[in-house]
Amino acid sequence: MTASEHSPAKGYDPVYAVFDSPLMRELRKEAYGEDVGQHSWVTADELRSDVPRLSLATSSRLLDVGCGPCGPLVFMVKSTGCMGTGLDVSASAIDSGRARASAAGVQDRVALLEGDVNFPTPLVDSSFDAVISLDVVVHLRDRQMFFDEMARLLVPGGRLLLTDAGVITGPISNEEVERRSSNGYTQFVPPGVNESLLEAAGFRLIEQEDRTNSVLFNAMGRLRALLAHRLEVEAVDGKAGYGRQQRYIETVVALSERRALSRIMYLAELAEV
């Protein structure tokens, strides 16, 4: 499958194409503090806390849906010795992920596939023990289809851990919605939507955690790094591209500070048959 006209890959592909450039590496280091090749709002400490939530062992089969350049996937595979599969619509992200897995020495334990997660995957039923999907669901058009597909791919008792950075918990203006959606199709939902859709797909929610603080921490770090390297970023993206990035991140900071848009982690277990 390739990227469709409505795919978020069209928004992120330019970022992924230069993801491992010296400038991007420096920006991530300054923004996140600990660069593990992540994109979006995940931190290395979050990943460390999530490994035991997924009960990963060397025999486990882990799927990362919307894996991007595979920073979290490679981190978890290297930490646990499990087998990892990554799925993303962006060819640039998959290329970057393969290079990252090879550099980490886990290329023999990581398989990467290009595919649009807005559609059913070609993967076999009940082929994974755990699934992660970090800050991806906000870009999907049919969440119920997505959760149903994750239920199909997991073994009974398998766990799904996802984060949604688009849960509406306060007033948001139309200008803020537009700026926050600048990376492509974006769908915001009120509290309760993900919970009910997970239940309808056969999942039992076992843990839920507000991780908006990580958005605020990372966005403020990204904004500082962006301002510190303005001329370098403008040389790559142009002044207009730099301005879009700055407005986007400033909007994320504002929405997070007043808790108008929250990032929630959901840990769910597929019901035993």
At position 98, the amino acid (one-letter code) is: R
Mean pLDDT of 124-142: 97
- Structure confidence at residue 17 (pLDDT): 80
Question: Is 195 within a domain?
Answer: yes
Mean pLDDT of the region 150-165: 98
Q: Is residue 249 part of a domain?
A: no
Residue type, 255: L
Q: Is 124 contained in some domain? A: yes
In a domain, 75, yes or no: yes
| Residue 145: inside a domain | yes
pLDDT digits (tens, 9 = 90+) for 204-232: 999 999 999 999 999 999 999 999 999 99
Domain of residue 31: give its range: 9-171+187-212+263-270
- At position 216, the amino acid (one-letter code) is L
**pLDDT greater than 80 at residue 171:** yes
CA distances from 112 to 89, 134, 167, 199, 249 (A): 11, 16, 29, 29, 29
Number of structural domains the chain divides into: 1
Is the CB of residue 145 less than 8 Å from the CB of residue 53? no
Q: What is the pLDDT of residue 140?
A: 95
What CA–CA distance (Å, rounded) separates 204 from 137?
18
DSSP 171-207: ---HHHHHHHTTTS----B-TTHHHHHHHHTTEEEEE
* Residue 232 placed within a domain: no
Give residue-wise pLDDT tens across range 84-108: 999 999 999 999 999 999 999 999 9
pLDDT bin (cut points 50, 70, 90) of residue 11 is low
Query: Is 102 within 8 Å of 78 (Cβ atoms)?
Result: no
Q: Is the pTM of this model over 0.75?
A: yes
Is 87 a domain residue? yes
Residue 97 lies in a domain: yes
CB 185 within 8 A of CB 5: no
Secondary structure element (H or E) that encloses residue 134, with its range: strand 128-134
The CATH number that applies at residue 121 is 3.40.50.150
